[in-house]
Structure 1
Amino acid sequence: MSDHTTIVADRLTKRVWGRTLVKDVSFCVASGQVMGFLGPNGAGKTTTIRMLLGLSRPSGGLAILSGQRVPGPALTRTGSLVDRPGLHTWASASGNLRSLAPQFARSEHPALLDRVGLRDVGTKSVRAYSQGMKQRLALAIAIANGPDALVLDEPANGLDPAGVRDFRELVRGLAAEGRAILVSSHQLAEVERLCDVVVVLDRGRVVDEFTLSPDEARGAGASSVLEERYLTLTDHSRSG
């Protein structure tokens, strides 16, 4: 991995037609860390993620990946899952890997598909896949080239409970290999089992950042703790 602090948002701001969508959002995700990115609908999470990935130009502030300013070459070392996966539904999973991750060796396709739970259906048309299977394939494409960092926007959408568990284990394994991972989610119970640290965004601003204790981060009664803290923060923001 190329840099200890791999994902950096430095006072990111986005204005559109005089309206401020995101203001002075700052956080850092270190190598080996999984950060949960929380907030109500419309809080600015996806806008922030799009700026981090060079998909939207900031009105102010910087996005930095692996020590390099975005946009730039660091984007080639960053995997992402944002919006609906842009898969070729007429092709197989292996065909999608050939097309969307062409630098990834074909001989490694079976191992990668096995890692995301798709090895047995790797030759079937994606048209026949469930939403959860498509999410798994999109994640495979995101990690195919061994990225330093992963930015995932609602990656567990469409996954059944077994799929959510498999996703959690996969992400923790990727973090253990030294990757920095940012995960946006509305699933608080899963965030507390998956993440090391949490950033809460509301009305376009960071309202809190905190570390989950080892017991909290692995699910020992943390769901109620995280839920209470999150709801207190966002309810207070609305009443203030």
Structure 2
Amino acid sequence: MRRLILLCGLLLGLGIAQAQVRDFDRITESGTLRVALYQNFPPYSYEQDGQPRGVDYELAKALAEGLGLQLEVLWAPPGEKLDDDLRDYIWRGRVTAQGQLADVMLRVPYDRDYAQMRNELGELVNELVVMFGPYQRERWQLAFDRRRLPEVPSIHALRQHPVGVEVESVPSFYLSSVQGGMLSQETRHYPTPKLAFAAMQGGEVDAVMALRG
């Protein structure tokens, strides 16, 4: 884990110096490890009675302790897209946060296609971010309203059909990037899967793609 953190810090630091990214030496000298955790995201990361709680918080604490460092949590309200979160908390910084960046961010959904996604110039969209260490496997399924979408033999059947997904979820990243982003315009984002299903019942979307608990 030590080598992985070192690799992440060095690559980001070399990639964009003006963002005040800390390399591994500066992290250890400071005595603290800054970890970005999604805000209000139980059971993974949230606050209870003013204290941080959750699976990801415990993991971040163990990571810091394993490196002999104190943990500093940076609470991250999720943006509209993962690109926004990586930019705000990993490599550029938020304007309102005075440029303070995290050394590590947890609960970043890993998808190989997304990690290798390129822009119109052929450049990696997230070249300043190193994605490593997947620690939880998740599965997702598709539910659809047969009155508006009789069957879904393949992903192409979702064309011209709005699909509800949870913000910052693997289904969101998948639909936004699959087949060159052909479904990105039909993807509708909701704060929770429950609200996405309510939207389908209300006729706002024809299908919902969500993680299976």
TM score, norm. by length of structure 2: 0.28
| TM-score when normalising by structure 1 | 0.26
Greater RCO between the two (CA within 8 Å, min separation 6)? 1
Task: Pick the structure with more strand per residue.
Answer: 1
State the structure with more CA Rg: 2
